Structure 1
């Protein structure tokens, strides 16, 4: 809901173009975790790749090609303008997710953890 509100109501120079793109990968992560709570070691990378594919679909204007451009909500979700900065924001969000995963599951990082 926050992402949709940002997309529809916020038209500034930071929150919508940058923070919104960082948050969207966090939303995707949470959505995946609802259905698959078991840790996937590479989930942040998969989310980044998915986000990059969606961004590149904007470059090729696939929403228009598939006739989805007339649906406002889909147009907001898919976006309409390719931007390398968006991919950078997705990368930042996925790095945050990767650090979160390492913090949440330190025993899976390959380092020995002290026993308590």
Structure 2
């Protein structure tokens, strides 16, 4: 693991961050808010990590999936209640408010998608 700034991952991170903020502000329910948002958030996290760290694709993908699943399972045990943050909007957006199997599927699909894209880009740069 080495520190290495990669501008294309950082640009993707910034774009996805703006998109996620837009989803959070303007969409309160529905498929895009609950499923596409979860799909994109793991891609956002992947791009953030790869913006600064030169990690192997599998290592980054598994780390992101571990973080996402960890946060999701904390929701199963009502972490916001234990932290006394139940009414905190920002904590609810970051940590989520309820456990869902669909979220786990969205995270897995998002991680597989970005890992596949990263693999293809990496191979094309080696040629």
TM-score category (smaller protein): 0.7 to 0.9
| TM-score normalised according to structure 1 size | 0.82
**Deviations along 1:51-103, whole A, 9 cap, x unmatched?**
00000111101121012323211111111010000000000100101101211
Any gaps of 5 or more consecutive residues in structure 1? 108-112
Residue 40 of structure 1 corresponds to 56
Paired residues, number: 108
Residue 102 of structure 2 corresponds to 85
Of 51, 73, 77, the match for 1:60: 77
Residue correspondence of structure 1 range 73-112 to structure 2 within 5 A: 73-106=90-123
| TM-score normalised according to structure 2 size | 0.75
Separation of aligned partners in 2, 1:89 and 1:27: 13
Residue correspondence of structure 1 range 20-39 to structure 2 within 5 A: 20-36=37-53, 38-39=54-55
Greater per-residue helix proportion? 2
Any gaps of 5 or more consecutive residues in structure 2? 1-17
Separation of aligned partners in 1, 2:84 and 2:25: 21
Separation of aligned partners in 2, 1:70 and 1:90: 25
Separation of aligned partners in 2, 1:88 and 1:64: 25
Q: CA RMSD in A?
A: 1.9
